[in-house]
Structure formats: structure tokens, C-alpha cells
Structure 1
């Protein structure tokens, strides 16, 4: 069968460096750090006392106060970015067939904070099980997709995707495949995460995965720097409106770019550590290029997973050199987690948005917080350190890798009629 072309017609973003799509892009190109001391709970006794929080977020500006209390923060984020993306795409009840519009949404962890708070309250009591009747529907990570569908009356395919930090890239891939197979006309896809809580921070601290640079939070996320010491936790929500090209043309929609291809692989190596030679990362990029029918030389920008961990950054660079060979030195590489922190299940979609904006604006966002070169990384690679760079970006590739060895990759390119 002839696969349909799929384009991006709307976006929404709620991030540590901007609470709307324009604010987020402005933060990216200006190299803004979203890291600061934690305000969502008292972190005084924690090994890590800082994170990249979404700032000045009041859910009652978007949701009824009573309804806002019934949903976890990650779902609040999801609804806010769904509203922005729908408006950006020009979609409303009058111009869509709700049976042909779906939602594929992701979270790596879901309602961890709700789970934590309910169990803590129970533990403080006399043993009588007094739980909030909304405990389970607030916690389960598929609820965000369901809530989005109910908010906008979308009755097409609807489900959640989870693959740790690759979750929202996998969601984009699933939406892309449903559309090109003709299973829907439009799909809202992306992810959200909000686990800056006692359990979330302490859990990652126990794994020794996070930076403990408490004296200088804003520069703690430093991918590819010699002195990187772990990732900085972030929270965010992001949404893409994916649409078949024929649907977009029929309604005269603005088109940001085209989804060229996607890939997914497994490391089959370790529960948290990447394959030391970047095998899964190599294979997922090759898979995405094959799916897109593209050659490595056609990629201009790579938004790396780039978490600022000692092992992960090096393994991904090895994979890039293996796939792109001499062209690796012609490509701009950047790790926007240096600004947003690692937003876990939402990382993939907000980094896909960074790639889309790079393609639209011919501007590559930087990797900030670079102070000292890592002698183990090839110095001839262009990591776009500290300052955005203007260049033609015809195609961009976004990598995301998750605990469990999950790898996902999406390629976006300029739309050509």
C-alpha cells in the first residue's frame, strides 16, 4: 500500500525555560538555564537540592479548580499543551471529524507524586485505609491521553506509551505510523512528566544518576563537559499535532515540517547503563534513516539524548561517529537538556519541538554550560557549545534513550510540496 505523508501542523510546550511554545524557543536560542533550587518540596536533606521546575504554573488559569484537584500535575501539563497545540493547529469542534482524530500520549512514570502522597498520608494514620477516590485515575499514566480526548471530544485511536526516557519519542512514532497507515487523519501526540518530588529525587539520587552540584545549580547540567557529574531532573509537557498531508492541505493548515521517519531499538545490555559502544544508539539512528529513505549526509542537526552523565554522553558520541563517519564533522550537535534538564518521559517531544523549530528557523540551539573539553570526546565535532548557531537545517534528528535499554529516534525535515 502507498503510505501517507505526515506533517506537523501544531505544537504546544510547557517547560522549565518557557510556559508556551514561543517562550520555550526563545529560551532555547538564548541559552537559558531552567535549573534552580527546588520549591515543590523541602529538599534540604537531599543529596540533590535543585531541579528544572516549570515556573509560575497555576493550573486554575487553565482548568476549573475542582477539576484540577482531581488530576496529577503531569496530567495538568498534558491538558495545557493540548490546548495550545489545538489552537496553534487551528483545530476546533467545527472543523474536525472527532472519530478521525486520536491521541497517543506518553509519560515515563506518570502520577508518582500522587502515589507518594497517598501512601505517606496512609502511613501517618491509624491504619484505616482512607484513600482519595481519585487516587488510581490520578496515578495511572494512560489517564493523560484519556483526559485529552474528553477535553476535546476526540474519539480516534487513544492510548499511552511508556519506554522510560524514550516514551514521548515512541509516542510520536506510534502516531506517525497510525497516520501513514490511514488509521486516522490527525493525532495529538507527545508526553508529560512531573516527578520532582521526594520519591522522584531520592530514587534517582539512590542510583547516583543525578548531579549533586548544589553550589551552582544553573550550570549543573553540562553535557559533554569534562566535569559533568550526572543529569538534572526536569519536568515538562509537550504536544505535536501530526496530520496526514492530504488532511492538512484540505483544510489549508500551516505546515511546520514533515515527519521523515522514526526508529526504535533495544540495547539488550543493562537496566540503566547504555551499551558502552553505543550499539543501540547506532542501530536506532540507522533504523530511522532507513525508514526515512535518507542518507546520513542529509542530516544537518542532531539533538542528542545528551543527559550530562559520564557514560551516556560518550556512548552516544561513539554511535554518531559510527553512523555519520566524516559527515559527523559537518553536522551541528547539541544537547538541549543543558537548559531544560532531563524531563524524562517528556524529553523526547520537547526535543523534537527543538528540532522542528531548528528546521523552521534555520537556527541550532546550543549546548550550554561548557567549560572544559572532555579529552575522551572528539574535539573536531561541533557540539554548538554555549551559543546558538545560524545555519540551513533541512533535516534534523532527535535521539532519546531510556532505562531498560529503550532507544527511539525521529527525523523531521523541511516540507516540500
Structure 2
């Protein structure tokens, strides 16, 4: 199959997938690829399949020719609890707990890698980078007036052609061209019409689309007989603006994807056991629509208009892989990142709810006949609530995910 044709087919398959949504490390997924997610997302120095480029492009030349197809069932549980003394004092809203109605999502992933020769590879991965999605049966932002029910939907789909090369026996480099499709909608902000620079393009305008591109660079190197290191850097991804929401999002509808960088290590503790750890920095401060505090007094949609108050986030990932037998590998992992915003930013984050911090995961791979394998993953993000005295509100979320992937060596 021609490589260019394969890229097109994978992109179409990814965009056709319903309900791509994932909010674990801020709005980024905690990891990419079923095997890596079974290890808490740790994989910068430990490539395991053709999804490796989503974590570190340099890893593709290390995994050989492969095709990997995966699907994750993602179930977040999110709610807003309003007390009697703050936002809940508004009779239009009322006190109580309001749970987001949409709770089930399917997240596809596809990776393909072709060895051009023993030291060079060309591949492509398609995956959901992350997203946010809420839907309430109450107008949580009514501001004392009439408003529609509060909801939000933001997703990001990456199609990343990747080139990688071994520069010597122990070191490899790689680069991905991230081609990104983004979708956004928000409802329930009619009460902010007088505080918007463009009230027509503030809220309730359905889904708007945005596209852009950026780069992801990676290196991996074996520095000792049993120690491998890795490093990655992803550029700020400049996205086209959401014109339907230029009266809500700062900088006239701009929602770029923040830059990231990370370091990783993998240690072969025994011939059967590997411990991997990553530290990743997500620079939400790059993006004014995310970083601007909700208390800003400028009009919504202007450069300094109110945003979600998100700060840069550091993510810690730790994973264990144990080859129990030639046909079975077991995995476990832990992922931690402090929520990207403080409780004084709760109000606008009623529709973002990225409060989860601690994640625990398990995984396994069975070797099948004909150079194929089957991998499974389970992830649980523990319940985390954030209380704001200013609005007498608590926002909380927990999550569960189960993933399955089929891999074929080629």
C-alpha cells in the first residue's frame, strides 16, 4: 500500500471516530498507545510499538516495521456542586450537584511504521491528543438572566507523519510533522453578552473547526548496558482561529496547542523487568485563552480577556514492564500532575473540569500467531474535587478507561 494513501486513510478513519475526548493531564491524554498507557504514559525512552511517535518520534526506528490499531473506551464522571452562598444563590440555577450527561467516549488510535533500511524508518500515527467535553441540564452561567444549558466540546486530532534514524549503534533521532484538526463549541454564556467584544460570536453557535501544524522532535540513546535515555520537544502549534467564538476565546478566537518538552529514562532491572519514568512539561501559559485568569476585566475575546486561568503543568510518569513468559508481558504505571488551575478559577472551569491528578494503570500483551499480538490497558483517575469559597462551588472529576490494541509485525 502506498505510504501517502495510507496516511489519507488513517486521517479519515480518525476524523470519523465519534466522541473523541480525554482530559487527564490538563486536556492532554496521560499517554499515547495502549502499551504506553498501561505504564502510566511513560515511554520517552521506551518505544514499544508503532504508536511510539506520539510520545517520542525517535522511537519509531527502534520498533521495526509494524501496524498497530487500538481503541479506548473512556468514561469520565464529572460534576459541579453549588452551595447556597455563592453562584448557587442565583435562583435561576439553584443549589445542588449537577452531573455532566455525556459520560461515554471512544478514542481510536492507529500507528504504522515502515523500515526504509536497517537504520531509517518512515511512519505515521493518528491519535486524539486530548480534549474537554461537558453537557449539563442547567444554565450554570445565567448571571441572573436567561441562558441556555451549559455545555462545551473541544477535541484535538493529530495526524503525524514521522521520520526516524539511527545515527549510530546506540542513538536515534526522529521528527514528526503534526497535522492537527481541532473542534470547539460552547453554550450557556448568553449572560456574558455585555462583557463580550462580539456577542454574536460568543456562545451557542455550534461546532467550529480549526487546523494547524507543528513539529515534534525526539532523541533516544543507550548510555549504559541497561540504561536508555530520551528527550522530546513539541513546538507551539499555531491553529487557525475559531471565528464562531471570537467573542469568547482570547485573541479573537485563538486556541493554539501549547508547546511541551520531556525527559525519560528506561532501566533494564533484570532481563525480564524494565522500569521507565518520564517528566513532561506542558506550557499552557503559551495560550492566552487558557492562561488568562477568569477575573480579567477586559472584554471576552480580546487579547487580555478572561480565560480559564490555567498554569504550566509538570507531569510525572512511572511505569513497570515485566515479561512473565515468552508469550505474556505485564505492565503497571502511575501518573501524577497537579491540576493546571487553582480553585479561585473554578467558575469558568465549570465546563473544563480538568481536576484529576493521580492515575493508576495496568496492562498486558499476549503474543499471538503470525507475528501478531493483543494488548489491553485499564486506567483509573482518582476522584479529585476543588472547592472555591468565592463562588461556593466544588468541581470534581474521576475517570476510567479500558483500551485494546492489535499489533502486527511487518
Quickly name the TM-score band, shorter chain normalised. Answer: under 0.3
TM-score by length of 2: 0.24
TM-score by length of 1: 0.24
Q: Higher helix proportion, which one? A: 1
Higher RCO (CA 8 Å, separation ≥ 6 residues): 1
Q: Whose strand fraction is larger, Structure 1's or Structure 2's? A: 2
